[in-house]
Amino acid sequence: MADLYEILEVSRDASMDEIKRSYRRLARECHPDANPDDPQAEARFKELAAAYEVLSDPEKRGRYDRFGSADGFDLGDPFGSGASGLGDLFDAFFSGGAGPFGGGRRGPAGPQRGSDLEVVATIEFNDAVFGTQTDVTVRTAARCDDCGGTGAQPGTSPETCADCGGSGEVRMVRQTVLGQIVTATVCRSCGGAGQTIASPCPSCAGEGRIVGDRTYTVDVPQGVDDGSTLRLTGRGAVGPRGGPPGDLYVHLRVTPHQRFSREGDDLVEHLSIGVAQAALGVRLPLETLDGWEDLVVPKGTQSGQSFRLKGRGVPHLGGRGRGDLIVVVDVETPTKLDDEEAELLRQFAALRGEDVAPADEGFFSKVKSAFQSH
């Protein structure tokens, strides 16, 4: 076997957290369920798990670092044979229970939990604000109806494993340089299920499940944001031979709104108004997510000034109340004026004692030439 640190892609001085994170990442990538067309995936996953079994145990890691080899650690096949054995350690990391990441693993003779699944759902901005229902389709493992999930041919039933007596594990006593060591490994004959099937179901080949597409309707609560994840308990893949299902994680993508941007639970809109409207004030109709309302812009409003409409934002996720709608006013300076408009502005500037450029258009050409001449 190659160097255990190289297998887990960590340095020799890696912390336990670094080893754990690296194993978790690599196990997801190499798990046989995620690579059904790769015949090497099972061997690679076994190698990863064997390396992690040593490096995650301070005592075993210390012996490995001192002796420089894996001798005495029984790294050949820590799971026993079969995909059901492989899933045992994988579920300890990625399922729900008491594994090292909050995941739970089945007991030695218990049914294996199915894999968690992930899917991306795209929803409209307004639906994210007010909530909606959306359908998602995933390719998953569902219970075989012909055998009822047992994996046994209809009319037959699984039998207690003769090698482990139904416990799902085999204990071995070995003598090493450090003394007597007792190890418990998953039973190779039944893969830890505690049962064997003499006559497999022809529809599912003894798996108790069949892979296919399934569509679920997802209730999207109001107030979700882009990147939110919803967990649908029990909507993942079912485990083999009647094992409980995993969970389905729905990652939400929210399409942007044409006018509103979102800052937490507040909505922000930029509204352009004219110079006269800003100076004299104006009442403008404003379309919010709840309908049309009047926005009163007082006289003397400056560009960049904001106005807050209480309770017109996004509902608080899982709570009461809503954020606000913040309207930012952008005062537009006119760029093209006809002669009458320009004259009125000059009269306005004269009344205020403000200097402006003369009406002669040649003035600007002379100024431009003067700057270029230097």
Q: How many domains are contained in the chain?
A: 3
Evaluate whether residue 40 is within a structural domain.
yes
Range of the domain at 343: 339-373
Query: Does one domain contain both 361 and 300?
Result: no
Give the chain's residues under pLDDT 50. Answer: 70-108
- What string of DSSP letters covers 306-363? EEEETT-SPBPTTSS-B--EEEEEEEEPPS---HHHHHHHHHHHHHHT-----S-THH
What is the structure's pLDDT at 177? Answer: 58
CA distance 318 to 216: 22
Query: Does one domain contain both 3 and 44?
Result: yes
Q: Are 231 and 247 in contact (CB under 8 A)?
A: yes
CA distance 357 to 336: 15
Query: Does one domain contain both 324 and 343?
Result: no
What is the structure's pLDDT at 356? Answer: 87
In this structure, what CATH number is given to the domain that contains residue 293?
A: 2.60.260.20
Evaluate whether residue 214 is within a structural domain.
no
Query: Does one domain contain both 343 and 327?
Result: no
pLDDT digits (tens, 9 = 90+) for 115-141: 999 999 999 999 999 999 999 999 999
Evaluate whether residue 180 is within a structural domain.
no
Evaluate whether residue 290 is within a structural domain.
yes
CB hemisphere CA count around 12 (13 angstroms): 6
User: pTM of this prediction?
Assistant: 0.61
Please say which residue of 57, 78, 99 terminates a domain: 78
In this structure, what CATH number is given to the domain that contains residue 64?
A: 1.10.287.110
Q: Are 6 and 19 in contact (CB under 8 A)?
A: no
Radius of gyration over every alpha carbon of the chain, rounded to an integer in angstroms: 34
Please say which residue of 43, 78, 113 terminates a domain: 78
Query: Does one domain contain both 12 and 72?
Result: yes
Evaluate whether residue 89 is within a structural domain.
no
Please say which residue of 34, 55, 78 terminates a domain: 78
Quote the Cα angle for 113-229-17, to 5°. Answer: 65
Query: Does one domain contain both 368 and 314?
Result: no
What is the structure's pLDDT at 45? Answer: 81
Q: Which parts of 156-281 are beta strand (E)?
A: 159-160, 169-176, 179-186, 195-196, 209-220, 229-232, 248-254, 261-263, 266-274
Q: Are 182 and 172 in contact (CB under 8 A)?
A: yes
Q: Which residues contact 358 (CB under 8 A, 6 or more apart)?
A: none
